[in-house]
């Protein structure tokens, strides 16, 4: 498979430890017992930034995630002429009302998949000519379904590659409105990208979804965010079509909840070490982030989970329970986390319904199977998932494949055995730049 060498041009000034080539993880010397806070959701941050940029008036987005993905989103908006001021974890955005101040320019979006799927539609709704480019891996990731749908609504693209992905030049003269069809099986971000821009079309837009939606919860997240800024789409009873009325977002002050996907790694720390980790600011019963289902599986594994009004606390156990199959369809970002934890369960664990993660920052199914095998652990790979058979892993040098979720998941193995080394730890800057610092603060031995 491809080497996935670090694409350092995808890193932003908000990155930390990008100059570190290898990190070594070893178990904590004392029982882990900590209370922490986590920055805002990446998914919510970039949705809010794009909507605020399109809105009439000023928006304050509180609790933003300061990571590579949000940095490239903000930099792109600034190049489009949108004033964005960052004050600690608050972004103050003066919207353009759908008319981008800079009608020409070159945009670079790093490795940010959400930005690559959200900005094209937002640009197409305005007037101007822009080029968009990204990291090497992002230029390999699929975009054609979204770009084809935008073409049917009036956008014009010129591609440098035959398969309709980045880089491209967009000539925008506004979206006509009407009907567009998108597949549900590849990425929910295509659907969200079109929905975010749809209010600015000349006529109402109806998005038809072909097939079952991968991670439908993220589409619901988009609809909720749109409504909070004053535009209320209408979904059909079966959820397979969504109509967005013509209109404009209104500037708004919004508080973003912590990133549950990142929280999962720290709850996993507690689970694996028989420790306790409490994360403040989370209401498990009132979040739209699908990775919250991880808590249900932790309970199946034998952990104790306390869901408070504004916190979630996990108490781990000496040995996790295995011997079952888990569908990762709704919360596939934690497939790698589950695979790393399964090594230390008391029976095999099968993870299924995650074929789409082969098209993420790397082929995540192939990559995690490759790295787990280096540990001397038996693993079986399927098209849509894998089975991990527990065992006693041996120390190894593991490759992050330039993928933040690979790096964070592989680090969990080092909680149980000495001298797990991971190549290119800086890739975690995509969503959690201080991840390894946070592990160290909990007592895990982290050495560069």
The catalytic site residues sit at 333
Q: Is 363 annotated as a binding residue?
A: no
Tokens of 388: 């991990």
Q: Is 188 annotated as a binding residue?
A: yes
Rounded distance between C-alpha atoms, residue 368 and residue 192, angstroms: 28
N- to C-terminal Cα separation, the chain: 27
Q: Check the annotation: does 278 bind a ligand.
A: no
Buried b (16+ CB within 10 A) or exposed e, 382-404: eebbbbbbbeebebbebbbbbbb
Pair 195, 188: CB distance under 8 Å: no
The annotation status of 62 as a binding-site residue, yes or no, is no
- Give the position of tokens 């979206």: 175
160 carries a ligand binding annotation: no
Instruction: Check whether 137 is labelled as a binding-site residue.
Output: no
Secondary structure string (H, E, C) spanning 69-94? HHHHHHHHHHHCCCCEEEECCEEEEE
| 189 known ligand binder | yes
Annotated binding-site residue? 43: yes
Between CA 109 and CA 134 the distance in angstroms is 5
* Token pair in block for residue 269: 């720390």
- For residue 360, say whether it is annotated as part of any ligand binding site: yes
Which of 395, 390, 391 is closest to 421 using CA atoms? Answer: 395
**Residue 434 assigned as binding residue:** no
Does 364 appear as a known binding residue? yes
DSSP string, 297-353: HHHHTT-EEEE-SSEEEEE--SSB---EEEE-SS-GGGHHHHHHHHTTBSS-EEEES
332 annotated to bind ligand:
no
141 belongs to an annotated ligand binding site: yes
Task: Point out the annotated binding site for 3-phosphoshikimate.
Answer: 42-43, 47, 187-189, 333, 360
Task: Point out the annotated binding site.
Answer: 42-43, 47, 113, 141, 187-189, 333, 360, 364, 405, 430
Task: Point out the annotated binding site for phosphoenolpyruvate.
Answer: 42, 113, 141, 189, 364, 405, 430
């Amino acid at each position: 498979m491809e080497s996935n060498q670090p694409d350092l041009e995808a890193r932003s000034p908000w990155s930390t430890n990008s100059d570190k080539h290898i990190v070594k993880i070893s178990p904590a010397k004392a029982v882990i017992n900590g209370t922490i806070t986590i920055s805002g959701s990446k998914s919510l941050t970039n949705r809010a930034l794009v909507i605020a940029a399109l809105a009439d008036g000023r928006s304050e987005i509180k609790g933003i995630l300061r990571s590579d993905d949000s940095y490239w989103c903000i930099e792109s908006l600034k190049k489009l002429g949108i004033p964005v001021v960052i004050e600690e974890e608050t972004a103050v955005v003066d919207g353009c009302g759908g008319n981008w101040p800079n009608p020409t320019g070159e945009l670079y979006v790093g490795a940010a998949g959400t930005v690559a799927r959200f900005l094209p539609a937002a640009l197409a709704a305005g007037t101007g000519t822009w080029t968009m480019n990204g990291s090497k891996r992002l230029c390999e990731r699929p975009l054609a379904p979204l770009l084809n749908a935008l073409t049917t609504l009036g956008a014009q693209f010129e591609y440098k590659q035959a398969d309709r992905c980045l880089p491209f030049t967009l000539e925008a003269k506004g979206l006509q409105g009407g009907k567009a069809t998108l597949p549900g099986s590849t990425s929910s971000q295509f659907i969200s990208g079109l929905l975010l821009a749809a209010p600015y079309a000349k006529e109402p837009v109806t998005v038809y979804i072909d097939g079952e939606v991968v991670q439908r919860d993220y589409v619901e997240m988009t609809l909720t965010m749109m409504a909070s800024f004053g535009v209320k789409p209408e979904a059909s009873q079966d959820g397979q079509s969504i109509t967005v009325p013509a209109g404009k977002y209104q500037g708004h002050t919004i508080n973003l909840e912590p990133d549950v996907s990142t929280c999962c790694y720290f709850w996993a720390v507690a689970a694996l070490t028989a420790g306790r980790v409490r994360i403040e600011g989370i209401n498990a019963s009132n979040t739209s982030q699908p990775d919250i289902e991880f808590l249900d599986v932790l309970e199946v594994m034998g952990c104790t989970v306390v869901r408070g009004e504004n916190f979630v606390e996990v108490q781990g156990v000496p040995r996790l329970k295995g011997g079952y199959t888990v569908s990762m369809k709704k919360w596939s970002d934690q497939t790698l986390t589950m695979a790393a934890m399964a090594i230390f369960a008391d029976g095999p664990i099968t993870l299924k319904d995650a074929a789409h993660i082969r098209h993420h920052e790397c082929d995540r199914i192939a990559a995690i199977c490759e790295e787990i095998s280096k540990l001397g652990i038996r693993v079986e790979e399927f098209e849509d998932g894998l089975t991990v058979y527990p065992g006693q892993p041996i120390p190894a040098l593991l490759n992050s494949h330039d993928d933040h979720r690979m790096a964070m998941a592989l680090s969990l193995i080092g909680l149980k055995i000495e001298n797990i080394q991971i190549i290119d730890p800086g890739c975690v800057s995509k969503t959690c730049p201080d991840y390894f610092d946070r592990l160290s603060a909990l007592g895990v031995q982290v050495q560069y």
